[in-house]
Amino acid sequence: MEEQVIVVDAEDREIGRMEKMAAHQNGGTRHRAFSIFIFDSAGRCLLQRRAGSKYHFPGLWTNTCCSHPRPGEETAAAAHRRLQEELGFDCPLEERFQFEYRAESEEENLTEHELDHVFTGIYDGLLNPNPQEVEAICHLTPCALEEKLAEHPEEFTPWFKLAVQRVLAAV
């Protein structure tokens, strides 16, 4: 069965549904998404390096988890589902803010045009990354993260670079 995303207007009101890959082609169609930033009790942010097999932005570092809710699925429920699917855990989440962005993945000729709901949480337990989704993980302090981002911005996904400063200011 083909995976679908929720097409939304600028106010995040559902206006339709679209096959996921089609929503990322021809300049991208605005759709609902979410990004999760998990911190441990020491304040370190859990990052993942996207698997090399991902359809866009493969091999780049990004926030803990990101994806799309399915039609009929609440965004928070989708966030919990994807934490389990990608990293093998779940924890309480708090929605912090939303933002809209557009980013080109030139190598794959795809475009992200998302209204992104950003969640944060705290988790100190075991991780079980799904190798089809996650190539590597690491925990970085906010200072180390900002340093790595400044030195090697090309190693990070576009949405991560747009959201990370607001997240660090909010937690």
Listed in order, strand segments (DSSP E) in the chain are 4-8, 14-19, 31-39, 45-50, 61-62, 65-67, 94-105, 110-122, 134-140
Q: Which residues pair with 117 in a beta bridge?
A: 34, 98
- Type of residue at 56: H
Catalytic one of 45, 66, 86, 135? 66
CA dist 11 and 163 (Å) reads: 19
Which residues lie below 8 Å from residue 78, measured CB to CB, with a gap of 6+?
Answer: 34, 67, 68, 69, 70
Tell me, yes or no, if 65 is annotated catalytic: no
CA dist 2 and 7 (Å) reads: 15
Tell me, yes or no, if 14 is annotated catalytic: no
Catalytic one of 86, 112, 114, 135? 114
12-21: Cβ within 8 A, 24+ apart:
12/98, 12/115, 17/71, 20/68, 21/55, 21/110
Q: What residues are labeled active site?
A: 66, 114
